[in-house]
């Protein structure tokens, strides 16, 4: 009874955590349909700093002691470095190539988890990551896709940054009494403050915003960032880091489905096959990284058998 309850709770945690990358998959559609063009750094800034300040105001919890620099590092990895690199890759590469590069981050997470968290690196885990990346490739890659050196470096850098952020978040946890919402606010604020000079230095003054752009930024900031990251960090606190990392493969699949359903983009049988393969890799990753069930001690087993 206890084992099945724990297993169900773990699966429920992963299911809820998977909502975050599904929501992140809407970023491409919102960006192309609602936001000003060619302003990736400003968009990254608007996704992070306002949401971070709002969460700080709501939770009324500020980092102190060693958590000042820890929150700064996590904010840099998960937000301040990841988002500019991701947008740079998206603007310099075809969307499919950028998506495949970003989907490589379970591989980085597996390697970092082995080094930092002493998690065992197995062939099954690596195979799951390769299958997942291959499935994503079938969904998003096109034969005409071209490569750009800086874009490829940025895409791999984004994957490595997010992986490092996941692993270090898992290693450090969070202070006692601090909720995932407050922790999310710390990181969003730290990352957003890093992005202010980057956005101003590269793109200059903010663009004029109409109602559609304001609505798009509100959605990305509140739903796609504040809420999604709070769910993500909650799951990361309760599940294996590598299990959570594999859920990131859901994001490009979500983007493809939204593009088909909302933007009228094509969805071929090969892409559907790729989705099935990517989902298979995600599931295999969960099976390979889930905590092992342990048999109860004899005394516990006897007590459980006599309980009504």
What gap in Å lies between CA 295 and CA 241, rounded to an integer? 24
What gap in Å lies between CA 64 and CA 257, rounded to an integer? 42
Higher-confidence residue of 74 and 121: namely: 74
> What is the b/e burial string over 137-172, where b = at least 16 CB atoms within 10 angstroms of the residue's CB?
bbbbbeeeeeeeeebbebbbbbbbbbbbbbbbbbee
Q: Is the pLDDT of residue 305 over 70?
A: no
Pairs from 1-7 (Cβ < 8 Å, separation ≥ 24): 1/304, 2/296, 2/300, 2/304, 3/293, 3/294, 3/296, 7/293
Question: Which residues are within 8 A (CB) of 283 and not within 5 positions of it... i.e. 6 or more apart?
Answer: none
Give the model's confidence band at 156: pLDDT under 50 very low, under 70 low, under 90 confident, else very high: confident
- Whole-angstrom CA distances from 194 to 4, 59, 117, 294 are 44, 22, 27, 45
Q: What is the pTM (predicted TM-score) of this model?
A: 0.85
At 188-227, the pLDDT tens digits run 999 999 999 999 999 999 999 999 999 999 999 999 999 9
Give the model's confidence band at 292: pLDDT under 50 very low, under 70 low, under 90 confident, else very high: low
Task: Tell me what pLDDT residue 307 has.
Answer: 35
Q: Is the pLDDT of residue 302 over 50?
A: no
Give the model's confidence band at 271: pLDDT under 50 very low, under 70 low, under 90 confident, else very high: confident
């Amino acid at each position: 009874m206890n084992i099945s309850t724990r297993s169900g709770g773990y699966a429920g945690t992963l299911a809820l955590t998977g909502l975050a990358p599904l929501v992140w998959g809407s970023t491409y559609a919102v960006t192309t349909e609602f936001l000003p063009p060619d302003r990736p750094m400003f968009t990254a800034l608007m996704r992070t700093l306002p949401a971070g300040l709002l969460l700080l105001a709501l939770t009324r919890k500020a980092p102190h002691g060693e958590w000042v620099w820890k929150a700064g590092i996590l904010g840099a990895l998960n937000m301040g470095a990841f988002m500019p690199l991701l947008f740079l890759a998206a603007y310099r590469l075809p969307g499919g190539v950028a998506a495949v590069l970003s989907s490589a981050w379970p591989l980085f997470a597996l390697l970092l988890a082995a080094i930092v968290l002493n998690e065992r690196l197995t062939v099954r885990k690596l195979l799951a990551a390769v299958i997942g990346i291959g499935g994503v490739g079938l969904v998003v890659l096109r034969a005409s896709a071209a490569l750009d050196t800086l874009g490829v470096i940025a895409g791999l850098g984004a994957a490595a940054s997010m992986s490092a952020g996941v692993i270090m978040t898992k290693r450090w946890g969070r202070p006692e009494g601090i909720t995932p919402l407050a922790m999310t606010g710390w990181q969003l604020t730290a990352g957003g403050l890093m992005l202010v000079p980057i956005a101003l230095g590269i793109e200059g003054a903010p663009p004029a915003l109409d109602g559609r752009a304001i609505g798009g930024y509100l959605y990305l900031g509140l739903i796609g960032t504040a809420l999604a990251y709070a769910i993500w960090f909650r799951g990361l606190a309760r599940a294996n880091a590598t299990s959570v990392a594999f859920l990131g493969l859901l994001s490009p699949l979500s983007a493809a489905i939204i593009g088909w359903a909302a933007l009228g983009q094509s969805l071929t049988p090969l892409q559907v096959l790729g989705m099935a393969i990517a989902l298979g890799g995600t599931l295999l990753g969960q099976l390979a990284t889930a905590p092992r069930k342990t048999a109860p001690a004899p005394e516990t087993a006897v007590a459980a058998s006599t309980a009504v």
